[in-house]
Protein backbone atom coordinates (compact mmCIF):
# COMPACT_ATOMS: atom_id res chain seq x y z
CA UNK A 1 0.00 0.00 0.00
CA UNK A 2 1.33 3.44 -1.01
CA UNK A 3 1.40 5.98 1.80
CA UNK A 4 0.55 9.43 0.48
CA UNK A 5 2.62 11.06 3.24
CA UNK A 6 5.79 9.65 1.66
CA UNK A 7 5.06 10.89 -1.89
CA UNK A 8 2.72 13.88 -2.18
CA UNK A 9 4.61 16.28 0.12
CA UNK A 10 7.71 15.80 -2.03
CA UNK A 11 5.67 16.21 -5.21
CA UNK A 12 4.18 19.52 -4.07
CA UNK A 13 7.64 20.68 -3.07
CA UNK A 14 8.92 20.11 -6.61
CA UNK A 15 5.92 22.06 -7.93
CA UNK A 16 6.62 25.10 -5.75
CA UNK A 17 6.57 28.62 -7.09
CA UNK A 18 9.25 30.32 -5.05
CA UNK A 19 8.38 29.81 -1.39
CA UNK A 20 4.76 28.90 -2.16
CA UNK A 21 3.76 25.27 -2.46
CA UNK A 22 0.49 24.32 -4.17
CA UNK A 23 -2.40 22.26 -3.02
CA UNK A 24 -2.46 18.94 -4.91
CA UNK A 25 -5.95 18.06 -6.12
CA UNK A 26 -7.00 14.71 -7.52
CA UNK A 27 -7.80 14.79 -11.24
CA UNK A 28 -8.58 12.46 -14.12
CA UNK A 29 -5.59 11.63 -16.32
CA UNK A 30 -5.69 13.25 -19.76
CA UNK A 31 -2.67 11.51 -21.28
CA UNK A 32 -0.52 14.64 -21.40
CA UNK A 33 0.97 14.43 -17.91
CA UNK A 34 4.17 12.55 -17.06
CA UNK A 35 3.65 9.18 -15.41
CA UNK A 36 5.92 8.35 -12.50
CA UNK A 37 6.41 4.89 -11.06
CA UNK A 38 7.52 4.61 -7.44
CA UNK A 39 9.09 1.18 -6.92
CA UNK A 40 7.75 -0.80 -3.94
CA UNK A 41 9.88 -0.21 -0.88
CA UNK A 42 11.59 2.80 -2.46
CA UNK A 43 13.61 4.62 0.19
CA UNK A 44 14.35 7.73 -1.87
CA UNK A 45 11.14 9.05 -3.38
CA UNK A 46 12.76 12.46 -3.80
CA UNK A 47 15.38 11.05 -6.17
CA UNK A 48 12.77 9.25 -8.26
CA UNK A 49 10.65 12.38 -8.58
CA UNK A 50 13.65 14.59 -9.27
CA UNK A 51 14.76 12.31 -12.12
CA UNK A 52 11.25 11.89 -13.53
CA UNK A 53 9.65 15.35 -13.44
CA UNK A 54 10.25 18.00 -16.10
CA UNK A 55 10.73 21.59 -14.98
CA UNK A 56 7.53 23.53 -14.46
CA UNK A 57 5.32 20.45 -14.32
CA UNK A 58 1.86 21.11 -12.85
CA UNK A 59 0.11 17.81 -13.49
CA UNK A 60 1.47 14.32 -12.71
CA UNK A 61 0.21 10.76 -12.58
CA UNK A 62 1.74 8.59 -9.87
CA UNK A 63 1.22 4.94 -10.76
CA UNK A 64 -1.03 3.16 -8.24
CA UNK A 65 -1.76 6.49 -6.54
CA UNK A 66 -3.55 8.67 -9.06
CA UNK A 67 -3.27 11.90 -11.01
CA UNK A 68 -2.63 15.17 -9.19
CA UNK A 69 -2.76 18.75 -10.38
CA UNK A 70 -1.19 21.76 -8.67
CA UNK A 71 -3.62 24.42 -7.47
CA UNK A 72 -2.36 27.77 -6.23
CA UNK A 73 -4.58 29.99 -4.12
CA UNK A 74 -6.90 32.38 -5.91
CA UNK A 75 -8.12 33.95 -2.67
CA UNK A 76 -6.34 36.53 -0.56
CA UNK A 77 -5.55 36.72 3.14
CA UNK A 78 -2.75 36.27 5.67
CA UNK A 79 -2.95 32.47 5.29
CA UNK A 80 -3.73 32.36 1.56
CA UNK A 81 -2.62 29.09 -0.01
CA UNK A 82 -1.45 27.54 3.25
CA UNK A 83 -2.53 24.04 4.22
CA UNK A 84 -3.18 23.92 7.95
CA UNK A 85 -4.09 21.26 10.51
CA UNK A 86 -5.66 22.29 13.82
CA UNK A 87 -6.14 19.74 16.60
CA UNK A 88 -8.91 19.99 19.14
CA UNK A 89 -10.93 21.81 16.48
CA UNK A 90 -14.48 20.62 17.16
CA UNK A 91 -15.11 23.53 19.51
CA UNK A 92 -13.54 26.41 21.43
CA UNK A 93 -10.21 27.95 20.47
CA UNK A 94 -9.47 25.18 17.97
CA UNK A 95 -12.66 25.71 15.98
CA UNK A 96 -12.27 29.48 16.02
CA UNK A 97 -8.60 29.24 14.94
CA UNK A 98 -9.54 26.94 12.05
CA UNK A 99 -12.40 29.22 11.05
CA UNK A 100 -10.14 32.28 10.97
CA UNK A 101 -7.45 30.47 8.98
CA UNK A 102 -10.02 29.48 6.35
CA UNK A 103 -11.38 33.03 6.23
CA UNK A 104 -7.80 34.20 5.62
CA UNK A 105 -7.40 31.90 2.62
CA UNK A 106 -6.06 28.63 4.01
CA UNK A 107 -7.15 25.09 3.34
CA UNK A 108 -7.78 23.66 6.80
CA UNK A 109 -8.10 20.19 8.30
CA UNK A 110 -10.00 20.18 11.59
CA UNK A 111 -8.82 17.26 13.73
CA UNK A 112 -10.58 16.09 16.88
CA UNK A 113 -11.57 12.97 18.76
CA UNK A 114 -15.14 14.20 18.19
CA UNK A 115 -15.42 13.00 14.58
CA UNK A 116 -19.00 14.14 14.11
CA UNK A 117 -18.21 17.54 15.57
CA UNK A 118 -15.37 18.30 13.16
CA UNK A 119 -17.37 17.11 10.16
CA UNK A 120 -20.17 19.49 11.10
CA UNK A 121 -17.73 22.31 11.78
CA UNK A 122 -15.91 21.80 8.47
CA UNK A 123 -19.20 21.87 6.57
CA UNK A 124 -20.11 25.19 8.20
CA UNK A 125 -16.71 26.68 7.36
CA UNK A 126 -17.14 25.65 3.72
CA UNK A 127 -20.61 27.17 3.58
CA UNK A 128 -19.38 30.42 5.13
CA UNK A 129 -16.33 30.63 2.83
CA UNK A 130 -18.17 29.63 -0.32
CA UNK A 131 -15.44 27.16 -1.25
CA UNK A 132 -14.12 23.73 -0.24
CA UNK A 133 -11.77 25.16 2.35
CA UNK A 134 -12.02 22.60 5.15
CA UNK A 135 -12.26 18.92 5.98
CA UNK A 136 -12.84 17.18 9.29
CA UNK A 137 -10.70 14.23 10.38
CA UNK A 138 -11.03 12.03 13.43
CA UNK A 139 -7.89 11.99 15.57
CA UNK A 140 -6.92 11.19 19.13
CA UNK A 141 -3.70 13.00 20.00
CA UNK A 142 -2.82 10.33 22.55
CA UNK A 143 -2.82 7.58 19.90
CA UNK A 144 0.06 7.66 17.37
CA UNK A 145 -1.78 5.38 14.95
CA UNK A 146 -4.80 7.68 15.02
CA UNK A 147 -2.61 10.73 14.36
CA UNK A 148 -0.83 8.99 11.48
CA UNK A 149 -4.14 7.96 9.89
CA UNK A 150 -5.50 11.49 10.20
CA UNK A 151 -2.40 13.01 8.60
CA UNK A 152 -2.56 10.45 5.80
CA UNK A 153 -6.09 11.65 5.04
CA UNK A 154 -5.03 15.30 5.17
CA UNK A 155 -2.16 14.71 2.75
CA UNK A 156 -4.32 12.61 0.43
CA UNK A 157 -6.81 15.50 0.29
CA UNK A 158 -4.50 18.52 0.10
CA UNK A 159 -1.06 17.16 -0.81
CA UNK A 160 0.85 18.24 2.27
CA UNK A 161 0.91 20.56 5.28
CA UNK A 162 2.34 24.05 5.84
CA UNK A 163 1.08 24.80 9.34
CA UNK A 164 0.32 22.45 12.22
CA UNK A 165 -1.48 23.99 15.19
CA UNK A 166 -1.29 21.73 18.24
CA UNK A 167 -4.29 23.04 20.15
CA UNK A 168 -5.92 19.97 21.74
CA UNK A 169 -5.83 20.29 25.51
CA UNK A 170 -7.67 19.30 28.66
CA UNK A 171 -7.70 20.42 32.27
CA UNK A 172 -8.49 18.79 35.58
CA UNK A 173 -8.11 21.22 38.47
CA UNK A 174 -7.41 20.11 42.03
CA UNK A 175 -5.01 20.23 44.93
CA UNK A 176 -1.89 18.08 44.80
CA UNK A 177 -3.15 16.65 48.08
CA UNK A 178 -6.34 15.33 46.54
CA UNK A 179 -6.13 15.15 42.73
CA UNK A 180 -6.68 11.55 41.54
CA UNK A 181 -3.72 10.08 39.69
CA UNK A 182 -6.01 9.19 36.79
CA UNK A 183 -6.78 12.91 36.34
CA UNK A 184 -3.08 13.80 36.43
CA UNK A 185 -2.36 11.11 33.83
CA UNK A 186 -5.23 12.28 31.62
CA UNK A 187 -3.99 15.88 31.56
CA UNK A 188 -0.38 14.83 30.98
CA UNK A 189 -1.27 12.38 28.20
CA UNK A 190 -3.23 14.93 26.19
CA UNK A 191 -1.33 18.16 26.82
CA UNK A 192 2.26 16.91 26.98
CA UNK A 193 2.52 13.47 25.40
CA UNK A 194 -0.12 14.40 22.80
CA UNK A 195 1.93 17.38 21.65
CA UNK A 196 5.01 15.16 21.38
CA UNK A 197 3.16 12.52 19.35
CA UNK A 198 1.69 15.10 16.98
CA UNK A 199 5.10 16.62 16.24
CA UNK A 200 6.67 13.19 15.88
CA UNK A 201 4.15 12.36 13.15
CA UNK A 202 3.91 15.68 11.31
CA UNK A 203 7.58 16.69 11.30
CA UNK A 204 8.64 14.11 8.66
CA UNK A 205 5.96 15.45 6.29
CA UNK A 206 7.19 19.02 6.66
CA UNK A 207 10.82 17.92 6.38
CA UNK A 208 10.11 16.06 3.13
CA UNK A 209 8.57 19.21 1.64
CA UNK A 210 11.61 21.24 2.68
CA UNK A 211 13.98 18.75 1.08
CA UNK A 212 12.10 19.14 -2.19
CA UNK A 213 11.77 22.92 -1.82
CA UNK A 214 14.66 24.13 0.40
CA UNK A 215 13.55 27.74 0.00
CA UNK A 216 10.26 27.05 1.80
CA UNK A 217 9.80 26.92 5.57
CA UNK A 218 6.96 25.46 7.62
CA UNK A 219 5.42 26.03 11.04
CA UNK A 220 4.41 24.07 14.11
CA UNK A 221 2.60 26.24 16.64
CA UNK A 222 1.48 24.93 20.01
CA UNK A 223 -1.39 26.67 21.78
CA UNK A 224 0.01 26.62 25.28
CA UNK A 225 -1.26 28.77 28.18
CA UNK A 226 -0.24 31.49 30.61
CA UNK A 227 -0.04 28.52 33.00
CA UNK A 228 2.98 27.39 31.00
CA UNK A 229 4.76 30.58 32.09
CA UNK A 230 3.83 30.78 35.76
CA UNK A 231 2.52 28.29 38.30
CA UNK A 232 -1.19 27.84 38.94
CA UNK A 233 -2.53 27.25 42.44
CA UNK A 234 -4.44 23.96 42.80
CA UNK A 235 -3.90 23.39 39.10
CA UNK A 236 -0.52 21.69 39.10
CA UNK A 237 -1.30 18.96 36.58
CA UNK A 238 -2.28 21.48 33.94
CA UNK A 239 0.52 23.96 34.65
CA UNK A 240 3.08 21.16 34.74
CA UNK A 241 1.93 19.83 31.37
CA UNK A 242 2.10 23.32 29.88
CA UNK A 243 5.55 24.06 31.32
CA UNK A 244 6.64 20.75 29.81
CA UNK A 245 5.11 21.77 26.47
CA UNK A 246 7.34 24.84 26.32
CA UNK A 247 10.32 22.61 27.02
CA UNK A 248 9.27 20.47 24.06
CA UNK A 249 8.83 23.55 21.88
CA UNK A 250 12.33 24.79 22.62
CA UNK A 251 13.83 21.34 22.06
CA UNK A 252 11.89 20.71 18.85
CA UNK A 253 12.94 24.13 17.56
CA UNK A 254 16.61 23.33 18.04
CA UNK A 255 16.28 19.98 16.28
CA UNK A 256 13.87 20.75 13.45
CA UNK A 257 15.41 23.99 12.23
CA UNK A 258 17.61 21.93 9.94
CA UNK A 259 14.42 20.57 8.33
CA UNK A 260 13.03 24.02 7.57
CA UNK A 261 10.54 23.90 10.44
CA UNK A 262 9.92 26.71 12.92
CA UNK A 263 8.40 25.64 16.24
CA UNK A 264 6.79 28.13 18.61
CA UNK A 265 4.17 28.31 21.36
CA UNK A 266 1.44 30.85 22.07
CA UNK A 267 0.46 31.32 25.71
CA UNK A 268 -3.05 32.80 25.90
CA UNK A 269 -4.73 34.15 28.98
CA UNK A 270 -8.13 32.90 30.07
CA UNK A 271 -10.62 32.27 27.23
CA UNK A 272 -13.84 32.60 29.19
CA UNK A 273 -16.20 32.12 26.24
CA UNK A 274 -14.96 28.66 25.31
CA UNK A 275 -16.20 25.37 26.75
CA UNK A 276 -12.99 24.87 28.72
CA UNK A 277 -14.28 27.58 31.05
CA UNK A 278 -18.00 27.86 30.43
CA UNK A 279 -19.22 24.23 30.24
CA UNK A 280 -21.70 24.12 33.13
CA UNK A 281 -20.73 20.63 34.26
CA UNK A 282 -17.02 20.22 33.46
CA UNK A 283 -15.76 23.76 32.74
CA UNK A 284 -13.26 25.65 34.82
CA UNK A 285 -15.88 27.93 36.35
CA UNK A 286 -17.44 24.76 37.78
CA UNK A 287 -14.13 23.12 38.72
CA UNK A 288 -12.71 26.22 40.40
CA UNK A 289 -15.94 26.89 42.26
CA UNK A 290 -16.18 23.31 43.51
CA UNK A 291 -12.50 23.05 44.44
CA UNK A 292 -12.56 26.26 46.49
CA UNK A 293 -9.78 27.75 44.41
CA UNK A 294 -11.44 31.18 44.58
CA UNK A 295 -11.99 32.10 48.27
CA UNK A 296 -15.56 33.17 49.00
CA UNK A 297 -16.85 32.54 45.46
CA UNK A 298 -20.44 31.35 45.32
CA UNK A 299 -21.22 31.69 41.60
CA UNK A 300 -19.54 31.42 38.20
CA UNK A 301 -19.71 35.22 38.01
CA UNK A 302 -17.71 35.46 41.23
CA UNK A 303 -15.01 33.24 39.74
CA UNK A 304 -14.91 35.26 36.52
CA UNK A 305 -14.62 38.59 38.36
CA UNK A 306 -11.80 37.19 40.49
CA UNK A 307 -9.75 36.22 37.44
CA UNK A 308 -10.55 39.35 35.44
CA UNK A 309 -9.27 41.42 38.37
CA UNK A 310 -5.83 39.85 37.91
CA UNK A 311 -5.54 41.13 34.33
CA UNK A 312 -4.32 44.71 33.81
CA UNK A 313 -6.61 44.98 30.77
CA UNK A 314 -9.52 43.65 32.83
CA UNK A 315 -10.82 41.12 30.34
CA UNK A 316 -10.24 37.61 29.10
CA UNK A 317 -8.33 36.54 26.01
CA UNK A 318 -10.16 36.26 22.69
CA UNK A 319 -9.51 34.40 19.46
CA UNK A 320 -8.56 37.60 17.57
CA UNK A 321 -5.90 38.20 20.24
CA UNK A 322 -4.46 34.74 19.61
CA UNK A 323 -4.67 35.00 15.82
CA UNK A 324 -2.53 38.15 15.81
CA UNK A 325 0.21 36.15 17.53
CA UNK A 326 -0.29 33.15 15.26
CA UNK A 327 0.03 35.18 12.06
CA UNK A 328 3.06 36.97 13.46
CA UNK A 329 4.80 33.66 14.07
CA UNK A 330 3.90 32.40 10.60
CA UNK A 331 5.14 35.56 8.89
CA UNK A 332 8.25 36.09 11.00
CA UNK A 333 10.99 34.10 9.29
CA UNK A 334 13.54 34.81 12.03
CA UNK A 335 11.87 33.35 15.10
CA UNK A 336 11.72 29.86 16.53
CA UNK A 337 11.59 28.26 19.97
CA UNK A 338 9.54 31.08 21.50
CA UNK A 339 6.62 31.12 23.94
CA UNK A 340 4.64 34.24 23.07
CA UNK A 341 2.38 35.53 25.89
CA UNK A 342 -1.07 36.83 24.98
CA UNK A 343 -2.30 37.54 28.51
CA UNK A 344 -3.41 41.17 28.71
CA UNK A 345 -0.43 41.82 30.95
CA UNK A 346 -1.31 39.16 33.51
CA UNK A 347 2.04 37.51 32.84
CA UNK A 348 4.95 39.84 32.04
CA UNK A 349 8.27 38.39 30.94
CA UNK A 350 11.56 39.81 32.17
Residues whose CB falls within 8 Å of the CB of residue 121, separated by 6 or more in sequence, listed in order = 89, 90, 91, 95, 98, 99, 110, 134, 136
Work out the percent of the chain whose per-residue pLDDT is above 70. 100
- pLDDT-derived band at 326, boundaries 50, 70, 90: very high
Say if 4 falls within a structural domain: no
Say if 282 falls within a structural domain: yes
Report the b/e string of 303-331 with b at 16+ CB within 10 A: bbeebbeebeeeebbbbebbbebbbebbe
Q: Does residue 129 sit in the same domain as residue 245?
A: yes
Mean pLDDT of 174-180: 94
**How far is Cα 91 from Cα 71, in angstroms, rounded to an integer?**
29
End-to-end CA distance of the chain: 52
pLDDT tens for 60-113 read: 999 989 999 999 999 999 999 999 999 999 999 999 999 999 999 999 999 999
pLDDT tens for 6-47 read: 999 999 999 999 999 999 999 999 999 999 999 888 889 999
Q: Does residue 124 sit in the same domain as residue 148?
A: yes
What CATH number did the domain enclosing 227 receive?
A: 3.40.50.720
Say how many domains are in the chain.
2
Q: Does residue 237 sit in the same domain as residue 200?
A: yes
Q: Does residue 303 sit in the same domain as residue 154?
A: no
Give the pLDDT of residue 273: 85
Q: Does residue 167 sit in the same domain as residue 257?
A: yes
Say if 223 falls within a structural domain: yes
pLDDT tens for 236-249 read: 999 999 999 999 99
Q: Does residue 144 sit in the same domain as residue 192?
A: yes
Q: Does residue 146 sit in the same domain as residue 202?
A: yes
Work out the percent of the chain whose per-residue pLDDT is above 90. 87
Say if 99 falls within a structural domain: yes
Mean pLDDT of 146-173: 97
Q: Does residue 128 sit in the same domain as residue 249?
A: yes
Say if 98 falls within a structural domain: yes
pLDDT tens for 19-30 read: 999 999 999 999
Q: Does residue 274 sit in the same domain as residue 259?
A: no
Among 195, 238, 272, 307, which one carries the catalytic annotation? 238
68 is catalytic: no
Say if 330 falls within a structural domain: yes
Q: Does residue 80 sit in the same domain as residue 194?
A: yes
**What are the distances in angstroms from CA 37 to CA 42, 46, 57?**
10, 12, 16
295: burial class by Cβ within 10 Å (0-12, 13-18, 19+)? exposed
Q: Does residue 257 sit in the same domain as residue 279?
A: no
- pLDDT-derived band at 1, boundaries 50, 70, 90: low
* Residue 292 in this model has a pLDDT that exceeds 90: no
Say if 113 falls within a structural domain: yes
Say if 256 falls within a structural domain: yes
Range of the domain at 280: 270-316
Give the pLDDT of residue 47: 95
Q: Does residue 238 sit in the same domain as residue 291?
A: no
Mean pLDDT of the chain: 95
In DSSP notation, 88-121 reads S-SSHHHHHHHHHHHHTT-EEEEEES-HHHHHHH
**How far is Cα 132 from Cα 57, in angstroms, rounded to an integer?**
24
Amino acid sequence: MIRMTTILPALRGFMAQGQTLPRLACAKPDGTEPVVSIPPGCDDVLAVLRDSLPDGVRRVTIEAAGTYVAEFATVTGRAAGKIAVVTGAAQGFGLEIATDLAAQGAWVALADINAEGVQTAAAKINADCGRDAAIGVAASVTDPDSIAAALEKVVATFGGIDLFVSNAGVLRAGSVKELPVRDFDFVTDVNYKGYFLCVQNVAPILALQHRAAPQAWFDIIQINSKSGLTGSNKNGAYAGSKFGGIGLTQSFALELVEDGIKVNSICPGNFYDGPLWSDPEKGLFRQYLDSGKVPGAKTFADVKRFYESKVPMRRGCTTPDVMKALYYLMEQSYETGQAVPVTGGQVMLA
